[in-house]
Amino acid sequence: MTGMEQASCVRVAARSQALADQMFAVPDSGRVDRRARRAARRLCDSCPVRDLCLSEALARRTRDNVLAGGLTYQERCVLSHEIAADLGVTLWGLASVSPSTVLAWLREHPRAVERARSCTRAYWRDRKRSSSAALAQGRLF
């Protein structure tokens, strides 16, 4: 028993797999339902096994854009870099680190998740600004 049966996403999926997919996964169309994704993040943030879920996704290098531990793939990449650097392994070497080691690291660094989210938000905000500026100056292409 891993404890994952207590996960908020598992409880949602037990009620409605379609709703769970809408909240935690990215559909084939690639379009994310923003309201459902925000609700999923709130569920993840209060989930009793969030750190366990996130440590598994990081250690196994889950590459799809499902929400795992409340983080998207891009946010997990940012966090992976921080963890790998702190543990003294390469990013690829993080895959050889046990999930329990990653879990211990997450618990020792409780603000790391928010730093990863913040870094990702800043990246997309800067991208949006630079593309808007380029469009306004007529030099997008």
Q: Which two tokens mark 123?
A: 């990246």
- Assigned domain for 55 exists: yes
pLDDT interval class at 126 (50, 70, 90)? confident
Tell me the C-alpha distance between 104 and 79, whole Å: 14
What value, to the nearest 5°, has the Cα angle with vertex 55 and ends 48 and 83?
A: 130
Q: What is the pLDDT of residue 135?
A: 54
pLDDT in tens, 25-45: 877 777 888 899 899 999 999
The strand pairing partners of 71, in sequence order, are 68
Neighbours of 107 (CB within 10 A): 10
Q: What is the separation, in whole angstroms, between the first and last Cα of the chain?
A: 54
Mean pLDDT of the chain: 86
pTM for the complete prediction? 0.79
* CB atoms near residue 68 (< 10 Å): 23
What is the residue type of 35?
R
Mean pLDDT of 10-34: 85
| Segments forming the whole domain that contains residue 48 | 4-136
In the prediction, which pLDDT does 134 show?
Answer: 54
More confident residue, 98 or 126: 98
Instruction: Name the burial class of residue 46, with classes exposed (0-12), middle (13-18) and buried (19+) by CB atoms within 10 angstroms of its CB.
Output: exposed
The alpha-carbon radius of gyration of the chain (Å, integer) is: 17
> Do the domain assignments include residue 141?
no
* 107, two tokens: 């618990």
Number of domains in the chain: 1
The rounded distance, in Å, linking the Cα atoms of 95 and 62 is 10
Task: Tell me: pLDDT of 78 over 90.
Answer: yes
Dist CA 34 CA 23 (whole Å): 9
